[in-house]
Amino acid sequence: MSDSTGRKVTANISLTLDGRFNGPGGPGDLGAIVPYAITEVARNHLTRIHEHATTVLLGRRNAEGFLGFWPTVAEDDNADPRDRGYAKWLVDTEKVVLSTTLTEAPWSRARVVNAPTAEVLADLKADGEGDILINSSASVIKAALAADLLDRLHLIVCPEIAGGGERLFDDGLPASKWTLTHRDVGESGEMALIYDRVR
């Protein structure tokens, strides 16, 4: 399959200092991450992640979780303009949900695909324009890293050690080199970072 469109695959996720996207309590244990999600640095970061993206790739858990939160933000006149801008973009843009269990998409402008991440990314890259953003879905980001298909990584690094929980960077990933292209440090020590893959 040709990759003639030049679409970039980007990803966004928040991590603790010990590289975890949740704490020892499992997927819902975000105590080391949530306090940094509403900082100035994080909100400006939110604006950057979707700047060039025209397709969102989500895992089932995030697709369902986001649906319960972001559409209400999109309609909230009192929400921070950056949050609202991101929410409106998320509601309006094309969403592809990777799932082996869903039979219908939980969002409008969304479709469910039951296929390996690498295959779905190849199909998306072969058609259309704009970046493809894997949005906070760790399992999808891990699969893209394993297949070396990620071109840009947007990270919020939170200044806490979770001490347990799931790590993003598993042993056995292919070695790769990245260039830091943006850095923003917040008052609490959180960092917004953008790394681009060197190929």
Q: Which residues of 153-166 are buried (b: 16+ CB within 10 A; e: fewer)?
A: bbbbbbebebeebb
Q: What is the pLDDT of residue 129?
A: 92
Tens digits of residue pLDDT in 30-65: 999 999 998 999 999 999 999 999 999 999 988 888
Task: Give the percent of the chain with pLDDT over 90.
Answer: 85
**pLDDT grade, residue 4 (50/70/90)?**
low
In the predicted model, is pLDDT for residue 23 greater than 50?
yes
CA torsion, ordered 132, 93, 19, 171, to nearest 10 deg:
-40
Give pLDDT, residue 2: 45
According to the model, what pLDDT value does residue 111 have?
Answer: 94
User: Sorting pLDDT into bands at 50, 70 and 90, what band is 80?
Assistant: very high
pLDDT (mean) for 137-149: 97
Cα 106 to Cα 68, 97, 98, 110, distances in angstroms: 10, 9, 12, 7
